[in-house]
Amino acid sequence: MAEAEEMHHHPHIAREDGESYFTVTCTTHSPRGLSVRDTRLAMKVNEVLAGLPATQPARLSDPSLDLDQLQEQFAQARNRLIAINRRKIEDALESCGCSTAKAL
């Protein structure tokens, strides 16, 4: 994401192939956790996405699903994507040479 590069920030983005949804995870190793920079990037992501047709109807893997089943399907996909981003963040923090990233 060019906007993130301009902000000297590197979010973790997970997307399932063939699916129309993804997660963007912002975190900072110094200070560890969330920072003002993460908040600024999240606002920029929202701004960029506001200009896209992101409200198209979801493609159902099974049209016979009821609302509860559909919500569960989305929740499972979201949890998978968040888990991918968490692993990427853990790997990045582990490989970072800065002592702040390794603290905790």
- pLDDT over threshold 80, residue 93: no
Helix (H), strand (E) at residue 92: helix 67-95
Per-residue pLDDT of 27-79, as tens digits, reads: 766 666 677 888 888 888 888 888 777 666 566 667 788 888 888 988 888 88
In this structure, which amino acid lies at residue 54? A
Q: Is the pTM of this model over 0.75?
A: no
CA distance 78 to 67: 16
Specify whether the CB–CB gap between 29 and 97 falls below 8 A: no
Across the strands, what pairs with 62? none
CA distance 8 to 72: 36
Phi-psi region for residue 35, left (φ > 0), alpha (ψ -120 to 50) or beta? beta
Question: What's the average model confidence in pLDDT over 6-30?
Answer: 74
CA distance 23 to 77: 10
Tokens of 38: 């993460």
Domain limits, the chain: 2-102
Q: Which pLDDT does position 58 carry in this prediction?
A: 61
Q: Which pLDDT does position 59 carry in this prediction?
A: 64
Q: Which pLDDT does position 104 carry in this prediction?
A: 46
- pLDDT over threshold 60, residue 7: yes
